[in-house]
Amino acid sequence: MVVCSLVRMPRRSLVNLVCFGNRAVSLLYGHSLRPLHTSTCNNSSQPKAGFKPEKVAVVTKTTRYEFEQQRYRYAGLSEEDLKQLLAMKGSSYSGLLERHNIHTNNVEHIVKSLRREGIDVRVVKRGEYNEEVVRWADAIISAGGDGTMLLVASKVLSKDKPVVGVNTDPERSEGHLCLPVRYTHAFPEALEKLCRGEFRWLWRQRIRLHLEGTGINPTPVDLHEQQLSLEQHNQAHRITTMDIQQSTTASPSMWTGTLNERFSKPSLLPIRSLNEIFIGESLSSRASYYEISVDDGPWEKQKSSGLGICTGTGSKAWSYNINKLSEQAVEEVLKIGMSQTGLDIPLNQGFIQKVTDEYNESLVFSPDDRRLLYSIREPIVNRVFSSSRQRGFASKVCVRSRCWDACMVVDGGTSFEFNDGAIATISMSDEDQLRTVLLEH
């Protein structure tokens, strides 16, 4: 469904499409606390009429309660056993059940409100959400937290299909990519506003990925679902076994030919990143080795604890967390700076806080900005590995893996294998923008 036909639709329903700020919570690193001021969004526009989709998919998160149930399902535990096991770990069964019920009630509220307007609603668990659902829907609602919103957005490739996030547990979830909290319990109000056109479209720039080279398994692993069985993460990524098995069943020349063919062309992945791409070893204790080329510049060997490339939207999420400075560090730098110059300027807490806040705010940029921001996390500089800029803007970043068992993680939720020899090209294209809405609060 494109925009013009949506406009011509009879007044049957509304969907609230809100993108509240840049506070995407990725499972990786959380988010900042500052709201996105609408004035910083240059790429937003007044809609020509109300928004009234016919078919809406509601994608729901997996609650912690559901997760724990599924985790121990194979062991045949009763509810009572589950309760005791959770208690032993210091977790509360009744607490988890309570959050679960809050979420499911809020989902019901959303679904009922939509159906009351005559909208055809399909409720889909996040594990079942796929390209077919995206094609079917005129608009998609994410019912969960920011993590769910990121996953929902990741499969929407068209810049015309609206996506909305509704925070189904505001007390526990930050929900900064979601509706303002009040609409969680008053969803019909939001539907009204959208019907009347009392909102603005906001297109957020996103990242696209090309992968090539040996050892690529382009099958993504959903990190959230895979928590059920953690070694599935490695199993899903285990292309090494696959390429060995293929090689041993073929003649030597066929073997080389087959593998080269299969992996030599760069393939565009069917996923877009709203926040960031993180590249690094899967095992957190292992250093990452890779080569990087920025804007078609020379390749540089690096060793670090990983590499992140983010959008304006994502500049408030993981990227912010790895680049921000604490007041403790800023105070120390200023002290040293002052003593080196021989000056004696009083460094009171207020001053330190102002400098720290200004520094940290400078890490953030607008969601409609066409640039990528790359950050090298904890670079290791020694005889072998040099390091130029630790952070910078670019239009394109290429990375060649020299890792043992690394992954490329999209928005903290989807993981692709990225091992020794693989090359990723990270860039942006206007056609990848995500269509969201700013709803006046």
Q: Tell me the three state secondary structure of residue 153.
A: helix
CA distance 275 to 204: 10
Instruction: Name the residue among 123, 124, 177, 176 with its Cα closest to residue 153.
Output: 177
Strand partners, 332: none
State the alpha helices, DSSP H only, in 137-196.
146-154, 182-185, 187-195
Residue 236 CB, shortest distance to a copy of itself, in Å, is 11
Cα 32 to Cα 87: distance, rounded to the nearest angstrom:
32
How many other CB atoms are found less than 10 A from the CB of residue 253? Answer: 8
Strand, helix or coil for residue 165: strand
DSSP label at residue 23 = B
Residues 277-296 that bind a copy of itself (CB under 8 A): 278, 280-287
Assess 343 for contact with a copy of itself (CB under 8 A): yes
The interface with a copy of itself within residues 178-237 (CB under 8 A) comprises 214-215, 223, 227, 230-231, 233-235
- Considering beta carbons, is residue 252 or 298 the nearer one to a copy of itself? 252
- Does residue 305 touch a copy of itself according to CB under 8 A? yes
Selected binder of a copy of itself within 336, 429, 431, 440 (CB under 8 A):
336
Contact between 269 and 211 (Cβ < 8 Å):
yes
Interface with a copy of itself (CB under 8 A), residue from 70, 104, 158, 390 = 390
The backbone torsions φ and ψ at residue 348, rounded to the nearest 5 degrees and listed phi first, read -85, 165
- The residue from 21, 162, 180, 306 that contacts a copy of itself (CB under 8 A) is 306
Residue of 188, 218, 266, 379 interacting with a copy of itself (CB under 8 A): 379
**Least distance in Å: CB of 430 to a copy of itself?**
28
What is the size of the binding site for a copy of itself (CB under 8 A)?
92
Q: For residues 37 and 34, what is the distance between their CA atoms, to the nearest angstrom?
A: 9
- Give residues with Cβ within 8 angstroms of 262, minimum separation 6: none
Complex with a copy of itself: residue 5 or 229, whichever CB lies closer: 229
Return the range that interacts with a copy of itself (CB under 8 A); candidates 13-21, 54-62, 80-88, 103-111: 80-88
Residue 93 found at the interface with a copy of itself (CB under 8 A): no
| Residue 28 engages a copy of itself in binding (rule: CB under 8 A) | yes
Cβ proximity to a copy of itself: between 300 and 332 the closer is 332
**Binding residue for a copy of itself, selected from 14, 19, 24, 27, defined by CB under 8 A:** 27
Binding flag, residue 330, a copy of itself (CB under 8 A)? yes
Of 68, 37, 30, 274, which is closest to residue 173 (Cα–Cα)?
30
